[in-house]
Amino acid sequence: MTADAIRALGRKAHVYECDISVKGSLDSLIPRILADHSTIEILVNCAGIQRRVPAEAFSQDILDEIMQTNLGAPFTLCREVGRFWIENGIKGRIINLGSLACFQGGVNMSGYAVSKGGIAMLTKALSNEWASKGIRANVIAPGYIATDMNIDTRTNPDTTYRDSITQRIPMGRWGDADDFKGVVIFLASKASSYVTGEIIAVDGGWLAR
């Protein structure tokens, strides 16, 4: 667990459980955090789900689940944390996790593409409104990363699809969590003090291909 890894480094970590796929579940989250801590300085929205379904068969229930998890919840958290920052004169940083779907529509993933395209535009809109207040908002767009979301693809005995992806990545491999350490620290720190409204791809060169 991430919290255990943080604590093993001698740091403090507090975990607050919340089902972001359920509307209204976020109502008490920020007050709970602020009850334990005096402030929030950095917001990272990184939860996401994917459902591969042809567009003509995409049910409303599946669409609603994806949109709430991937876009609705991040919008709510950005709004609530952003309001707290504005009211208290805090120069906060928002880091939203996008996807290659911020740039590409993909196949059989129309709901996911809409949600991640929305994340890109939400971040730009927030940057336009809040940059003058010292609040920065940026997107990290991962490429093909080894996560639970794609474990079926990565463990499928038929490697045809997986191999086709790997062969297109100029670096010749899928990414992993360690590949995000640098860009997250950069966007969360003063090193990126003049960077806002940007979408930074971490994709092993996929988009440049």
Residues known to be catalytic: 112
- Find the farthest-apart pair of alpha carbons in the chain and give their distance in angstroms, rounded: 54
Q: Which of 18, 26, 41 is nearest to 73 (CA)?
A: 26
Q: Which of 125, 97, 55 is nearest to 203 (CA)?
A: 97
- Phi, psi (5° rounding) for residue 93? -130, 130
SS3 of 134, please?
Answer: coil
| Contact by Cβ (8 Å): 183, 141 | no
- Name the burial class of residue 74, with classes exposed (0-12), middle (13-18) and buried (19+) by CB atoms within 10 angstroms of its CB: buried
User: Buried b vs exposed e over 102-132: b needs ≥16 C-beta within 10 Å?
Assistant: bbeeeeebbbbbbbbbbbbebbbebbeebee
